[in-house]
Every structure is written in structure tokens, then in C-alpha cells.
């Protein structure tokens, strides 16, 4: 079972890239972030024609998350929005139980964590509060003992080796000590960072800024993660970064990250 996370940075602009990826890689589940469109504007017909069922949580011009599931798999028990703050209306979290005749059920979430910059604004406390809500929800999900995959753009650089130039990020919300501590708290709930479980090497990045020639100079950072509950980690086969998609014409500044789990 292949599960991919990808911040597409506008689904309308990146639709040809997405359809090409679906045809090339044939992932079973795709977690999309930063759709930048409302639900009714999502290109549902095109994605369904590619063989995928779609569930979205959209927002005009900003944020937005989606789950795509390849037939014959099916989604159920869909949750839109992260629990813990009824006043939070930002479209940053969607979750569903995914299963099929030959697949033990897996609960998958697509997450678009707040950036948090500037750090001296309300955006940073919101980021930390979101991370704490996610930690509490991750604990509750793990207690059910159904495999869980929390996938998305976390906007957190976990360790210095996850940035080509760590010093450049020292005062950024993505790399501040409280952000990294909150990410470690998620792992402490029993979750596994799938990429690091499979590949401990430096230089594994998932995001390259559009500015200052970051892509050709490989000045990247790793902020897109798939965290696996113990039951999901037991089924982990591989994890990989589809770096080549950053070299497409008019790409997203993020690339897909994929894990493969045993189906049972």
C-alpha cells in the first residue's frame, strides 16, 4: 500500500503534474495540502477520471487539504478539521479510514500545519497550539490500535541535518526550539518518522524555495513528513522522496514523499 503526501501549492496550477504523478506512480492514497480553492472548485472530475475517489476540505485562496484514494479502496469515517478548537476555521486537517477487501484498514490524515511566521505575531502561538492539538489527537488515534498515518506539510525542520543551511533557519518558526520540541512530542506518543526510519542520510529534502536559486543549489529543507503509529510502523516497507518532480516546469516548491506499507 503506497501512501503519498504532497503540498501542491495550488491544485489548479499543479493539476497536470498531479495527474502525471498518479499515472506514473499509482499511489493508493494521496494526501494533498495547500489546495488554495474551495471544495466546489477542486478539479474532482479530472481526478476521478484518473481512478481516484476524492474528499476535500477547501478554503478560498488559502490552505486546503484533500485525500485521494485509488479504486477499489474506499474512504469512511471522514473527519474534517482537527479536534480541540471549535473556533479554528482554517482548512488544515482531513482524516479518513481507508480499506478494501484485501487491505487491513488504515486511518490516514492529510495535514497542513501553520507556518508560524512571523514569530512575534499571533501566527506562532497558533502553530504551537495546533501542534499540541495534533499531539493529543494522535494519542487518541493510536489508542484505538488501528494503523495510523499522519501525513502532510508539517512546516517543521526536525533536526539540523534536515536543512542544507541550518543557520539560515535559526530564527524561523520552522526551526525554533519550541517547534522542534512539539514535533518530538508527537514522536514520543509512539509515532515513527517514516523517512528517517528508512534513510538516515543527510541531504534528504522535500522543499526548495523559489527564491535565490535554492533548487539548482540544492538548498532544501525537509518539512513534509509521514508519521506512523506503532501498528503502521510494523507494516513499513520503504519510504522515499520523489525529488525529480521539483525539476518540472512551474513546479510546486514541495515534492511528494511516499511510504509503502504491507497490506496486512
pLDDT, one tens digit per residue, over 158-211 is 999 999 999 999 999 999 999 999 999 999 999 999 999 999 999 999 999 999
**Do the bridges between strand 148-153 and strand 236-241 make them parallel or antiparallel, or are there none, so unpaired?**
unpaired
Residue 103 has a pLDDT of 83
What is the rounded distance in angstroms from the CA atom of residue 109 to the CA atom of residue 123? Answer: 23
Please report the domains of the chain, with CATH numbers, ordered by start residue: 2-261 (3.60.10.10)
What is the rounded distance in angstroms from the CA atom of residue 26 to the CA atom of residue 176? Answer: 36
Mean pLDDT for 22-35 is: 98
Mean pLDDT for 13-23 is: 98
pLDDT of residue 104 exceeding 90: no
Residue whose cell numbers read 503540498: 7
CB atoms within 10 A of CB 223: 23
What is the rounded distance in angstroms from the CA atom of residue 136 to the CA atom of residue 58? Answer: 24
**Integer CA distances (angstroms), 48 to 9, 24, 34, 72, 225, in order:** 20, 16, 19, 12, 26
pLDDT of residue 264 exceeding 90: no
For residue range 65-96, list pLDDT tens digits in order: 999 999 999 999 999 999 999 999 999 999 99
Confidence band (pLDDT; 50, 70, 90) for 53?
very high
Confidence band (pLDDT; 50, 70, 90) for 212?
confident
How would you list the strands of the sheet with 29-33, edge to edge? 52-57, 65-70, 29-33, 2-7, 257-261, 236-241
Round the average pLDDT of the chain to a whole number and report it. Answer: 97
Residue 263 has a pLDDT of 85
* pTM of the complete model beyond 0.75: yes
Amino acid at each position: 500500500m503506497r501512501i503519498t503526501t504532497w503540498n501542491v501549492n495550488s491544485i489548479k496550477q499543479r493539476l497536470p503534474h498531479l495527474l502525471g504523478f498518479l499515472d506514473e506512480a499509482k499511489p493508493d492514497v494521496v494526501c494533498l495540502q495547500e489546495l488554495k480553492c474551495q471544495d466546489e472548485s477542486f478539479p474532482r472530475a479530472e481526478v476521478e477520471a484518473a481512478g481516484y475517489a476524492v474528499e476535500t476540505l477547501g478554503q478560498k485562496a488559502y490552505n486546503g487539504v484533500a485525500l485521494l484514494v485509488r479504486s477499489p479502496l474506499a474512504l469512511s469515517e471522514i473527519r474534517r478539521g482537527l479536534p480541540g478548537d471549535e473556533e479554528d476555521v482554517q482548512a488544515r486537517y482531513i482524516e479518513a479510514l481507508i480499506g478494501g477487501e484485501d487491505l487491513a484498514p488504515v486511518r490516514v490524515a492529510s495535514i497542513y500545519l501553520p507556518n508560524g511566521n512571523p514569530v512575534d505575531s499571533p501566527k506562532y502561538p497558533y502553530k504551537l497550539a495546533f501542534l499540541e492539538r495534533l499531539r493529543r489527537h494522535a494519542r487518541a488515534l493510536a489508542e484505538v490500535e488501528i494503523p495510523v498515518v499522519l501525513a502532510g506539510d508539517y512546516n517543521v525542520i526536525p533536526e539540523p541535518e534536515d536543512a542544507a543551511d541550518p543557520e539560515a533557519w535559526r530564527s524561523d518558526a520552522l526551526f525554533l526550539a519550541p517547534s522542534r520540541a512539539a514535533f518530538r512530542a508527537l514522536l514520543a506518543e509512539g509515532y515513527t518518522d517514516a523517512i528517517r526510519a528508512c534513510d538516515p542520510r543527510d541531504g534528504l529534502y522535500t522543499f526548495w524555495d523559489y527564491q535565490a536559486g535554492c533548487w539548482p543549489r540544492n538548498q532544501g529543507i525537509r518539512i513534509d513528513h509521514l508519521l506512523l503509529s506503532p501498528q503502521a510502523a510494523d507494516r513499513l516497507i520503504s519510504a522515499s522522496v520523489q525529488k525529480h518532480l521539483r525539476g518540472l516546469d512551474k513546479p510546486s516548491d514541495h515534492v511528494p514523499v511516499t511510504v509503502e506499507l504491507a497490506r496486512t
